[in-house]
Amino acid sequence: MNVTDALGARASIRAYKPDPVPRPTLEGILGAALRTPSWANSQPWEVFVATGEPLERLRTAFLARTREGVPGAPELSTPKEWPAELRQRTLQMIEARARHQGVAPDDPAGQRSSLENNRRFFGAPTVVYLCLDRSLSPWSIYDLGALSQSIMLEAQEHGVDSTPAVNLVIYPDLIRAEMGIPDALLILIGVALGYRDPGDSRNSYRTARRSLEDVVRFPEA
């Protein structure tokens, strides 16, 4: 699979089969992704992989907190407000996804089900946590974003699907305790890996993308 095909094939999967991703496959994905460039070759990332019983304990704990109404506390602050144009795209996606599922966007039961699915990590058999030393700057967060894209594209090469989501790191204290992540590291990004459930309609919805003409400018001399 070439890079263009991988970019076109990759989608954020909302329902995974329980089948585990073999350890050699995970090692192949992560090993290749470590070729990602970073500022001054600092390679600032630290990677923790949750599978099996540790992941199931995290899944159970995340869901319990969600049902108790415990607010999330990600270690990278989320936006307090989006610019109007960006917020509009998000609302359009929420409405379109709800229509695709045959529910109203403001239906409380549908919203609760969607949130709990997020907090169950979409049923993925693997979650990769990407961490940084607390002393580093936002430039190193950029490096982590680049690594996450490398992981997801290499996963496509191996026939493995992926989902990056803030809900995977919404309760970092639980992750830290389960995975033995030192306090000196920030838990910043989670990427779910696994095999999509082709029978689940949530996986047939694809988000729209802005056009090249809308995004890219070529100022004339």
Instruction: Tell me if 209 sits within 8 A of 171, measured CB to CB.
Output: no
Residues 6+ apart with CB under 8 A from 157: 1, 6, 29, 32
166 in a structural domain: yes
3 state DSSP class of 129? strand
Supply the range of the domain harboring residue 147: 3-79+120-203
Residues 6+ apart with CB under 8 A from 16: 122, 123, 124, 125, 161, 192, 194, 195, 196, 197
Residues 6+ apart with CB under 8 A from 202: 14, 15, 97, 100, 101, 117
Angle 79-90-203 from CA coordinates, rounded to 5°: 120
pLDDT of residue 177: 98
pLDDT of residue 105: 81
pLDDT of residue 135: 96
Residues 131-190 have pLDDT tens digits of 999 999 999 999 999 999 999 999 999 999 999 999 999 999 999 999 999 999 999 999
Q: Spell out the per-residue pLDDT of the chain, length 221, in tens.
A: 899 999 999 999 999 999 999 999 999 999 999 999 999 999 999 999 999 999 999 999 999 999 999 999 999 988 889 999 999 999 999 888 888 888 888 888 888 989 999 999 999 999 999 999 999 999 999 999 999 999 999 999 999 999 999 999 999 999 999 999 999 999 999 999 999 999 999 999 999 899 999 999 999 87
- The total number of structural domains that make up the chain: 1
pLDDT of residue 47: 98
20 in a structural domain: yes
Q: How far apart are CA 24 and CA 30, in angstroms?
A: 10
211 in a structural domain: no
97 in a structural domain: no
Task: Assign residue 143 the CATH number of its domain.
Answer: 3.40.109.10
Chain centre to alpha carbon of residue 205: 17
B/e letters for 157-187, b = 16+ CB within 10 Å, e = fewer, are: bbebbbbbbebbbbbbebbbebbebeeebbb
